[in-house]
Amino acid sequence: MDQESHCTAERELLEIGNRITAFSTTSPSDEEQNQPKAEIPCQVRKENPEKDELQDSSASLSPNSSMTTKELQEYWRNEKRQCRQVKLLFEIPSTRIVEHHLAKYVMYKIIIVQTGSFDDKKCVIERRYSDFEKLHRNLLEEFSEEMEDLTFPKKTLTGNFTEEIINERKLAFKDYLRLLYSMKYIRRSKKFIDFLTRPELQEAYGCLRGGQYTKALEILSEVVGLQERLTRGNPVSIVPTLCAIVVCYKDLDNPASAFEYGDKALSRLQVRTSHRYYIPLLETMITLAYELGKDFLSLQEKLEEWKAKKDPVRVFTLKELAVREYVQ
C-alpha cells in the first residue's frame, strides 16, 4: 500500500471509530439529559482520569500518525469497550416456599446479570418479601421524592402462597429493582447496595470467624464481583471484601492467590494510605511476597515511609480486622 492509500485508510478508520464511540454509549436517562452538556461525557471517563488522557489523545491523531491500520483498529476497539456503559439486569426466574417452626415465607431467586461489556458472569441471590419491604421503607426515608411514582406490592391477608400471587410478585419485584437501579442516586446508595450484598457478606464473615475458609471464600468470591459492579465509582469500598479473601486464601495455604487479591486491594489504597486496612494489608503483602520470592523490599519501603510520617499507634492484623466486619 502506498503512502497516500495508507493515509486514506487511516482517515476512514478514524471517522468510523468516532461513529462507533458515539453510538456505543447508551441514551442518557431523563435526569442526565437535564444536566449541563459539559457534564455528560461517558461515565467511565468520569471515574478514570488515566483513561481520559487516553481518550483525549485521540484528538491529536492525524493521517500522519505512526499507528498502523491494525493498531488503529485495536485502538478503536478499546475505545468502544471503555465507553460502553455498564448496566445490571435483574431477573426473578423462580421461587421456593420455606417452612420451619412457625414461619412460612416465599424466597425469590434474583439473578443479576451485567450488560454493556464482555463479562458474562452473573450473581444469584435470594430475598423474601419482608426484605423488599424493608428496603422500600429505608429508601423512602431518603428518596421519597424520587420514589413517589413507584408502586410496591401490597401485603395480602390470604393467598400469599398461591401461584397467582407469587407470579404477580415475581414480575413486580423485577420491575421494582429495574426502576430503582435506573435512578443514579438510589443505585449508588448504601441502602440499595446493602440489600443486594449484605446478607451474603454476613454469612461469609460468619464462616470466616468459624474457620470455614473454603465456604467463606466461595461466597466472597461471588459477592465481590457484584460489589465491584455496584460501586464502580468508589473502588475503595470493596477493599474489606478483597482483604477477607486474602485472609481465607492465606489460611488455606494458597499464598499465590492471597497475593493476587492483596495486590488488587493495595492498588485501590495507593491514594488512601490512611485507610484502616492499608498497614495491615501492607504487612501481610510483605510476608506473602517474601514467601513467594517476589519483590518485598519496595513494600517494606512503603511501610517504613508510612511509619516515619505517622505517630506509632496500635494496628490490628489483617485477620483481626476481617473477623470484626459484620459483627452483630
- Got the DSSP string for 12-78? HHHHHHHHHHHHHSPPPPHHHHTS-GGG-S-HHHHH-HHHHHHHHGGGG--TT-S--HHHHHHHHHH
CATH number for the domain whose boundaries are 88-188: 3.30.1520.10
Mean pLDDT of 294-317: 87
pLDDT at 281: 97
| Mean per-residue pLDDT of the chain | 80
288, pLDDT greater than 70: yes
pLDDT at 155: 83
pLDDT tens profile 51-101: 443 344 444 344 444 556 766 666 555 555 444 556 899 999 999 999 988
pLDDT tens profile 216-239: 999 999 999 999 999 988 999 999
Going by C-alpha positions, the residue among 322, 321, 309 that lies closest to residue 274 is 309
CA atoms within a 13 Å half-sphere pointing along the CA-CB vector of 17: 23
* Alpha helices, H only, the chain: 3-24, 30-33, 43-47, 49-56, 69-83, 129-143, 163-182, 184-187, 190-209, 213-230, 239-251, 255-267, 278-292, 297-309, 318-324
How far apart are the C-alpha atoms of 243 and 116, rounded to whole Å? 28
Q: Where in the chain are the domains?
A: 88-188, 197-324
3, pLDDT greater than 90: no
Q: Would you tell me how many other CB atoms lie within 10 Å of the CB of residue 275?
A: 16
Side by side, the strands of the sheet bearing 122-128 are 87-100, 103-115, 122-128
Contact between 142 and 190 (Cβ < 8 Å): no
User: Of 141 and 38, which is predicted with more confidence?
Assistant: 141
Distance of CA 50 to the CA centre of its chain: 19
How far apart are the C-alpha atoms of 310 and 16, rounded to whole Å? 53
pLDDT tens profile 97-144: 999 888 899 999 999 998 865 556 789 999 999 999 999 999 999 999
How far apart are the C-alpha atoms of 211 and 251, rounded to whole Å? 9
**Whether CATH 1.25.40.10 fits 197-324:** yes
Torsion of CA 130, 141, 241, 188, to 10 degrees: 110
Instruction: Tell me the three cell numbers of residue 12.
Output: 476512514
pLDDT tens profile 6-23: 444 455 544 544 444 444
How far apart are the C-alpha atoms of 272 and 235, rounded to whole Å? 11
Going by C-alpha positions, the residue among 226, 230, 199 that lies closest to residue 122 is 226
Going by C-alpha positions, the residue among 122, 60, 64, 128 that lies closest to residue 88 is 122
88-188 and 197-324 share one CATH topology? no
How far apart are the C-alpha atoms of 70 and 64, rounded to whole Å? 15
